[in-house]
Structure 1
Amino acid sequence: MNLTHLYYFKKLAELQHYTRAARELFIAQPTLSGAISSLEKELDAPLFKRNGRTVVLTPHGEVFYEYVCLALRAIEDGTAAVSAKNSASAGTVNIGAIFTVQDDYLPALIQDYKATTDNSVVIMTSQGFTNYLIEQLHHGTLDVAFCGRRAHQNDIEYVPVTSRDLVLYVRDDHPLAAREEVSFADIRDVGLVTYRRGTPIGEKVFQLRRDCGVHHVEEAYDDDISMGSFLSHSDGNVGALMLRSLGGGLFPSLHAIRVSEIPPHFYTIFLAYHKKHVHSRAVTDFIEYVRTYPGNDAPAEEESEGE
């Protein structure tokens, strides 16, 4: 089995588009098609099926993708283990981050870190939800992630770095907009929306609501920006239990109000990385820098976050 073909397969599985995958691999599309055909012939199983102008993995392809990711990561770990012994702190750090940390913490952190490296380290950033980012850590697509804590991830190291308050957002024309603080009793008649269950933040908000006896809340959103957009265009007696972050700041018509029953530093954001992967010197140095970064403001002792 050709190692190059495995890299081609992994790229196509992630981009789900022959033309874009070939472009990123710097090969001709027929070369990519031939490589995939060769793999399918060797495995005697179809790996992709067409879905309009794109392709998706077949059940056989999904199984094969998991093993290809593990195999390629093992090779990359071996290469990194050899080169890291003598290499300086140079290279690339692939970072994934949730929207919540991209308003102030992450830009300041990256700027401060790059000032210590003489531009010898390239920082590549992407965004996504916590569950997706943790999967990418397992696959080796990301080196580190700034995200919530996902349950039952024994191979992932979580380092608390910063936190966000959970507040009530309403439109500026809402009757409560003039208040600085309310209680859950004050908003029992407000139509509330919040994060969906199944996400770390959604589970943590659910536990809070359950403990405080707050019911009839629509759990529909994965992220702050989508929820803020909904609220900014809503009419009537509605509000959002949402983290004080980029999602609220993007919409000038929204106003944040403290809720007396919600403790400060409600939601912790972690630096996450895979403990069993061998990291390059650049990634290792970045992790150590983040651990002691002066801008970290997470509480010293953290319990499991909304698992």
Structure 2
Amino acid sequence: MNLNQLRYFECIGRLENYTQAARELHVSQPSLTNAIHRLEAELNLTLFAKQGRHIVLTDTGRQLLTVVQKSLRTLDDGVAAVIAENSQQPITIRVGCIPTVIGTYLPKVLHQFEQEHTRQVTFELHSVTTEQIQAGLAAKTFDLGIAAVDGREPGYLYHPLLKQPFIVIVAPDHPWAQRQQLQLTDLVGEHVLTYTPDLLIGQKVQRTLKRQGVADQLNLTAAYPDEISIAGMVQSSSAVGLVADTLYLEAFNVVKIPVAVPEDLRVIYAMYRADNPQHETLRQLSHLFSQQGK
């Protein structure tokens, strides 16, 4: 039994999926299968069982997974602590951030944190999608993610930073341009543009419309990847856009109108894995983000 086998087992056991584990670990699926078979043979234990086309942990596998995860956390934290104590190099925090936030208060907060931790911390910043952030955190290629998510995954810590409400955008000559607020029912009969359901935010729009009982009544085109494409169409047409209130909209000649919806369209979180060796640094940084966001 070696360390690679344990890391492979932890990843497969956590995901219960060889294909996803191979992607996260950047190794071939046959290599993972062989490693697990050797581990089971060496321990004389059955760790996984087939369930249809999928695999699941056995009770014994779940017991071992708990032990292995705790042991790997202790090992990773210990190694990181020794390196930090004896290295003259600063810690590099790899940050994945959605584009609508990366250009607002993020650079200021990161610069402030670097100044308060001179020669201790540097940042590597990536402007990527929410889906890429989630994949990067899972694969440990990002230490910190800043994105909007609907649900919370076990093994991660989340700190809410910003809220982006539902709004409608219209061209300045639209009949609604002087309205102070709209109801979702006002959109019935209008050509409404919003996000593609392939995106998390698009799925949130669809769920909200269904909960409010208007999903089947709208002339809805859900085919757009971001606020830029929606606002570009809206400013030169009679269509209305149902979007989140983000920085992207400032570049367009559109009027923003609040919508009476009992929830925000997006909540932006700072999130990181609980087993990240830089856990304490990330906690301090998330707290600073929260303070700046208020």
TM interval, short-chain normalised: 0.5 to 0.7
Mapping 1:116-195, distance limit 5 Å? 116-118=116-118, 120-149=120-149, 151=151, 153-195=153-195
Alpha-carbon deviations, 1:133-187, whole Å to 9, x = none? Answer: 1001111111101012254632322221221111001122222122222222333
**Structure 1 residue ranges without an equivalent (≥5):** 1-59, 298-307
Q: In the aligned structure 1, how far is the partner of 2:127 from the partner of 2:85?
A: 31
* Contact kept? 1:99, 1:223, Cα under 8 Å: no
* Contact kept? 1:129, 1:223, Cα under 8 Å: no
The one-letter code matched in structure 1 to 2:206 is F
Match of residue 289 from structure 1: 285
Match of residue 43 from structure 2: none
Return the offset for 1:198: 4.4
The one-letter code matched in structure 1 to 2:117 is T
Q: In the aligned structure 2, how far is the partner of 1:257 from the partner of 1:138?
A: 37
Match of residue 238 from structure 1: 239
* Contact kept? 1:194, 1:227, Cα under 8 Å: yes
The one-letter code matched in structure 2 to 1:296 is G
* Contact kept? 2:145, 2:271, Cα under 8 Å: yes
Task: Specify whether residues 274 and 62 from structure 1 end up closer, same or farther in structure 2 by C-alpha distance, changes over 3 A only.
Answer: closer
* Contact kept? 2:201, 2:265, Cα under 8 Å: no
Q: In the aligned structure 2, how far is the partner of 1:284 from the partner of 1:88?
A: 19
- The structure with the greater share of residues assigned to helix is 2
Q: In the aligned structure 2, how far is the partner of 1:178 from the partner of 1:152?
A: 39
Match of residue 63 from structure 2: none
**Structure 2 residue ranges without an equivalent (≥5):** 1-17, 33-71
Return the offset for 1:103: 4.2
* Contact kept? 1:95, 1:126, Cα under 8 Å: yes
Match of residue 278 from structure 1: 277
Task: Specify whether residues 274 and 171 from structure 1 end up closer, same or farther in structure 2 by C-alpha distance, changes over 3 A only.
Answer: same
Task: Specify whether residues 69 and 287 from structure 1 end up closer, same or farther in structure 2 by C-alpha distance, changes over 3 A only.
Answer: farther
* Contact kept? 2:201, 2:266, Cα under 8 Å: yes
Secondary structure of 2:211's counterpart equals helix
* Contact kept? 1:69, 1:139, Cα under 8 Å: no
- Structure 2-normalised TM-score? 0.66
Alpha-carbon deviations, 1:277-305, whole Å to 9, x = none? Answer: 323xxx632432322542234xxxxxxxx
- Structure 1-normalised TM-score? 0.64
Match of residue 27 from structure 1: none
* Contact kept? 1:96, 1:146, Cα under 8 Å: yes
Mapping 1:1-307, distance limit 5 Å? 64-68=22-26, 79-85=79-85, 90-118=90-118, 120-149=120-149, 151=151, 153-215=153-215, 216=218, 217-232=220-235, 234-235=236-237, 237-251=238-252, 253-259=253-259, 261-263=260-262, 265-279=264-278, 284-292=280-288, 293-297=290-294
RMSD over aligned CA atoms reads 3.2
